[in-house]
Each structure stands twice: as structure tokens, then as C-alpha cells.
A and B are shown apart, each in its own frame.
Chain A
Amino acid sequence: EPEVTQTPSHQVTQMGQEVILRCVPISNHLYFYWYRQILGQKVEFLVSFYNNEISEKSEIFDDQFSVERPDGSNFTLKIRSTKLEDSAMYFCASNMGAYEQYFGPGTRLTVT
């Protein structure tokens, strides 16, 4: 069964550094999402992406964040200058639109 993959599984970075989290959505999916889960809290929506542009973003997704689909398979989330409060599990998801979203295993980001 096809699945969403994410790399790395764990990323440790220093405050102020840039990080790029990578995702490979399911190949025939058209819509892509990033969510995050701060430890002990609920899963929160960050951004959705369709047709090479952002379709919706949350208040969390400020100017420090950006997303890109650099080729036909990868979908990336970049955080330009990480803060301590960016430490969280970041989940990528994809779907065909009005169907359920399939989630990747997540990247645990630790900012020190």
C-alpha cells in the first residue's frame, strides 16, 4: 500500500538555524499538508498546498515558514530561523482532495 514518507525522522538544530523537513506524498495525490504536534498538545494545521501554491495557512504559518514542491515527488517545509517553540513533531499529509488525508510518520524537530 502506498504511503507518505518523511525525512529525517529526527532533526536537532540550534536556535536561529534553518531547517528543511522533507516529505514524499503518495504519488497520485494532488493536495499536500503540513501539521505539527507540540509535545502533549493536539495536532495543529499549518498549511495546505495545491497546484504549486498555498491554498490555506494557519496563523502559526508566519514568514519564518515556507513550503515548496521542488520536483514531482518532494514536498518540503522550511523554517528559516528556528525558535525553541518550534520544537514539535511535524507531520506531512496528502490526499486526492475531498477524501481522507494520509499521514506520514513525522519528523521530530528539537530546537536547542
Chain B
Amino acid sequence: AQSVSQHNHHVILSEAASLELGCNYSYGGTVNLFWYVQYPGQHLQLLLKYFSGDPLVKGIKGFEAEFIKSKFSFNLRKPSVQWSDTAEYFCAVRPNTGTASKLTFGTGTRLQVTL
């Protein structure tokens, strides 16, 4: 069974600081990888996804993530965070079976951006 680890539980940054959130997964086969964001009081929204191809994927709101297969990692980055990026960020993985399958989530990272 697959699993996901997010090592940073709570990150506090000043506006304009750079962000990197770690995500490592465990699974023996090929995977699809996702980052979801949950703003306070809102539902989970997809930030970006990796299915195949270029391991550097760009998402919404200036976020990007890099899939490093050898490290089983899919870290999320943003060069300059804004106060509005304050939210909880979840990494998720599912087996790349070509059909629908469940997502396995990490425990989430709470990002707090201060002015």
C-alpha cells in the first residue's frame, strides 16, 4: 500500500520569503502525484499534479513541484510567498493504473505567512 510523508507540520514565513514543502511517498510502482491546498474554511483545491513527462510541474498561483523519482519525492516550491498563501497544503499520491483509484494523503503542512 502507498503512503505519504510530509515532514513539515507547521511552517511560518514572512511575505516574499521562498517556500519549499517536503513530500515523500512510498509505493513500488508508478504513481500520480498531487498537491492540494485548503484555505481556511474552504474545500480542497488542486494546486498541481504530476502524471508523466517533465518532472517539473507548474501549478496555479505561482507554485511548482519537482518529481524526483530516485528520491520518491515531490516537493512543493514557491519563490515568493504572499499573505494569501496562508493555508494547509496536502501532498497526495495514487497508483498510476490508468483507472480511477483512491488518493492517499499526507498529514498536511500548515503554512502561515506573516506580513
- Give the B-binding residues of A (Cβ under 8 A): 30-31, 33, 35, 41-45, 48, 50, 55-56, 58, 91, 95, 97-98, 100-106
Contact = CB atoms under 8 A, between A and B. Distances in A.
A26 B101 CA distance: 17
Q: Find the residue from B42, B97, B99, B101 having the highest chain A CB count within 10 A.
A: B101
Interface residues of B, number: 23
A56 B106 CA distance: 20
A43 B90 contact: yes
Interface of B: 32, 34, 36, 42-46, 49, 90, 92, 97-108
19 contacts: A33-B103, A41-B107, A42-B105, A42-B107, A42-B108, A43-B92, A43-B105, A43-B108, A48-B102, A55-B100, A58-B102, A97-B100, A98-B32, A98-B100, A100-B34, A103-B36, A103-B44, A103-B45, A105-B42
A87 B49 CA distance: 30
Given A103-B43, A105-B43, 16 more contacts: A31-B100, A35-B105, A42-B106, A42-B107, A43-B103, A43-B105, A45-B104, A56-B101, A91-B43, A97-B100, A98-B32, A98-B97, A98-B98, A100-B46, A101-B103, A106-B43
Closest 3 CB pairs of A and B: A105-B43, A103-B44, A31-B100
Contacts of B107: 41-42
A42 B102 contact: no
A43 B46 CA distance: 14
Nearest to A6: B43
B67 to A, nearest CB: 15
Contacts of B100: 30-31, 48, 50, 55, 95, 97-98
